[in-house]
Amino acid sequence: MNAVLPRLLKSSYRKEPLISVLITMGIVDALIGGLDDSWSLFAFGLGIAGISLGFKLWRIQQRRPLSEEPVVQHYLPSRSSSPTLPMLTVTKKKPPQ
């Protein structure tokens, strides 16, 4: 678990830095407000975190799914001018002594 959480956080911050900062800010505000008995700061923090999380989920749903077919690139034409390709030969050289 110790190695998974930092990777998840780094991945999240790289993909969507603004949303991740807003979620972190909201959670920290909610923690400070909850521990200090400042219910307005607690509600503000939960609101910011909730709105940011909702926006992130909305953006995930708006992304188009990747195409199922893999992209295939052909480097040679389908019909070549000669029916067979020439054979390549590799000559082995002795290493210098």
pLDDT for 70 equals 73
The whole-model pTM stands at 0.57
pLDDT (tens digit per residue) in 74-94 = 776 666 555 666 677 777 777
**Better-scored residue on pLDDT, 27 or 7:** 27
Sorted by where each begins, the domain ranges of the chain are 16-62
pLDDT (tens digit per residue) in 36-67 = 889 999 999 999 999 999 998 898 888 877 66
- Cα–Cα–Cα angle for 77, 81, 83, nearest 5°? 95
Q: How many CB atoms lie within 10 A of CB 57?
A: 10
